[in-house]
Amino acid sequence: MATSPMKTIGAGELRAQNAGETVTLAGWVARRRDHGGVIFIDLRDASGIVQVVLNPDEAPASEEVLHGLRSEYCIQVTGTVRPRPEGTANQELPTGAVELAAHGLVVLSPSAPLPFQIDERVDIDEGLRLQYRYLDMRRTRMAGNLRARSAAIGAMRRVMDRGDFLEVETPTLIASTPEGARDMLVPSRLRPGHFYALPQSPQLFKQLLMIGGVERYYQLAKCYRDEDFRADRQIEFTQLDFEGSFWGQDEVLDVLEQIVVEVVQELRGEEIELPIARISYADAMEKYGTDKPDLRFGMEIVDLSDLFADTEFKAFAGVLGSQGTVRGINGGALGLARSGLDRLVERAQELGARGLVWMIVQEDGSLRSPVAKFLSEREIAAIKGAFDASPGDTLLIVADEAKVVTSVLGQLRLTVGQPEDSDELAFVFVLDFPVFDVNDDGSLSPAHHPFTAPADVDELASNPETAISQSYDLVLNGSELGSGSVRIHDPEIQAKVFEVMNIGAEDARSRFGWFLEALRYGTPPHAGFAIGVDRMVSILRGEPNIREIIPFPKTQTGADPLTGSPGRVEEDQLFQLGIDVRPEVRIGWAEAEEDAGA
């Protein structure tokens, strides 16, 4: 740890070999114990904790100072490092073999009474922790997360530097563009009624850098998306964004493999076996019911439609007769009672299925199931063979339209198979996504973004609903870490994509004219990727959500308990911006104030 005029070494750096040295430490009182007039303090700084012994007979500090010390007082201590007395060493601390016998102590800053104890053993409401985030950061868990985040970013930068990437910052006040989520808008005072947007990603600007001849670009980019919150999402987040000219998918994935190796080694000291597995989007959906499969366990979805082609079981026959499908998973030896199986049926229905058929393989090879009596011996044997089933296995089957079946089974697979506590890391590249998602009304929207290159231009024109793109995701343990693609560098292909999206030439010019103009000036083939820093670190640290990795996050409702944002602004500010808040919103303000007053 770097020293300063106020400290000669970090508290957590002291070891047995430092015995006999006179050092100066500075940090916070993590804990104070008074043993018959001799005071023991656990002194904490960014490097760790060490025990300090304050004996009034030896230390010149006044009795008032010694007995006035409280938790989180910021202090400076000078003393001699010595071995702890025999039998008192703390094996759980790196500094547990030594202590500091204080000669002098100075209170640099006292602390007010704490809103919560800075102790890992105490469970604290998240809202309170975020309100006092600066105190939460002193806790071992949060401090470790911030160090891990910094270390991960350092590892990423090393990979970028080795690859001769140029770090370039792109604007944070841009024009609004359709990239999937709603834009965060910023009103302009100088041009009332006009708005900037905060970037969802630096997509178009990094492509402009390729047109500008940069060839290798990266940045740690702040991105903003006005979307609903989940454990792994925030309004603002950080991603490692990189792009390269004269390369394609394989070159991007090679860089990503280097990043994965470097970051995992830095944070966990583990070697990642290369190459990282690759699976197509179509296979991922077919086998796992999701485009972000968790490969720490098997439990692949099995298609049973052919098996039941001539079945007399009316529920399955009816679905197959209406062009549906019958599929299932082998959940293994779940050992569930009837109530547990009923809960799985309810869960399947919540997810959109008409129902769920469960089957338990008995020791004698028979199937225990509410529908077993409707199945022939041939069908029972075929079911066990299709699932490679053993006695004790629980088989879960859903019959419905294909989209519903794969979605429901994909989520049930996680419910019954996803390990709750596992240190295993299962990275996978998911490739060949569709160019477009088909919306419920039949319209098409970009599956990635509208600047993603199609794999086949002719297919894009003739069958846009099934056209495949040159795009790819990096997935870890069932979570998407990031996405990328080969970009469109031909203006004519870009125009065709807009046409399929029902964005006419005039509309395209008004929204993207500056970018379309740039494509006309010798644009090189290029491709890139963006990887979510906070999400990657949260998984590697075993944290349940990215709020534990972001220094100053928002709550799940988008609020910041620390600063009170989002908040209202003065009427004069709104007037200067040409903004008038709707009457019903003002009524809501008044009602909220009345509730607060009550």
449 or 170, which is more confident?
170
Q: Choose between 279 and 567: higher pLDDT.
A: 279
CA atoms 91, 95, 97, 100: torsion sign: negative
Which band of pLDDT confidence, cut at 50, 70 and 90, is reported for residue 61?
low
Query: What's the confidence (pLDDT) of residue 343?
Result: 95
354 three-class SS? coil
pLDDT of residue 597: 57
Chain Cα centroid distance, residue 536: 6
- Is 170's pLDDT higher than 80? yes
The helix or strand, by DSSP H or E, that contains position 45, with its residue range, turns out to be strand 38-45
User: Among 16-20, 279-283, 447-451, which stretch is predicted with the lowest mean pLDDT?
Assistant: 447-451
Angle at 442 between CA 437 and CA 444, to 5 degrees: 35
Question: What is residue 349's predicted lDDT score, i.e. its pLDDT?
Answer: 95
What is the pLDDT averaged over residues 268-281? Answer: 96
Q: Please compute the mean of the pLDDT values over residues 10-38 and round it to a whole number.
A: 92
* Beta bridge partners of residue 195, listed in sequence order: 187
Q: State pLDDT tens for residues 181-207.
A: 788 999 998 888 899 999 999 999 999
Q: Above 80 in pLDDT, residue 378? A: yes
- The reply to whether 143-281+427-548 and 298-417 are identical in fold is no
pLDDT-derived band at 598, boundaries 50, 70, 90: very low
What number of other Cβ atoms are within 10 A of residue 530's Cβ? Answer: 22
- Residue 241: CB atoms within 10 A of its CB come to 25
pLDDT tens digits for range 81-96: 999 999 999 999 999 9
| Span 272-276, average pLDDT | 96
pTM for this model (two decimals): 0.91
Residue 448 above 80 pLDDT? Answer: yes
Residue 595 has a pLDDT of 61
What one-letter code names the amino acid at 475?
V
CATH of domain 11-109: 2.40.50.140
Contact (CB, 8 A) for 114 and 90: no
**Percent residues over pLDDT 70 in the chain:** 95
The amino acid sitting at 550 is I
Least confident of 252-266, 483-497, 570-584: 570-584
Length of the chain: 598
Asked whether 174 and 199 are in contact (CB, 8 A), the reply is: yes
Q: Which fold has domain 143-281+427-548?
A: BirA Bifunctional Protein; domain 2 (3.30.930)
SS3 of residue 197 by DSSP: strand
Strand-by-strand arrangement of the 394-400 sheet = 302-303, 325-330, 394-400, 357-361, 367-368
26 three-state secondary structure? strand
Nearest by Cα to 299 from 161, 558, 495, 478: 478
Q: Please, are residues 75 and 31 in contact by the beta-carbon 8 Å criterion? A: no
Fold of 298-417: Gyrase A; domain 2 (3.30.1360)
Average predicted confidence (pLDDT) for the chain: 91
Mean pLDDT over 539-558 rounds to 92
- Are the CB atoms for 437 and 472 separated by under 8 Å? no
pLDDT of residue 586: 78
- Report the first-to-last Cα separation within the chain, whole angstroms: 51
pLDDT band at 558 (very low <50, low <70, confident <90, very high): confident
140: left (phi over 0), alpha (psi -120 to 50) or beta: alpha
Give dist(CA 327, CA 397) in Å, integer. 6
Give the start-to-end residue ranges of the domains of the chain. 11-109, 143-281+427-548, 298-417, 568-598
Residue 473 host element (H or E)? strand 471-476
- DSSP assignments along 33-90, one per residue: EEETTEEEEEEEETTEEEEEEE-TTT--S-HHHHHH--TT-EEEEEEEEEEPPTT---
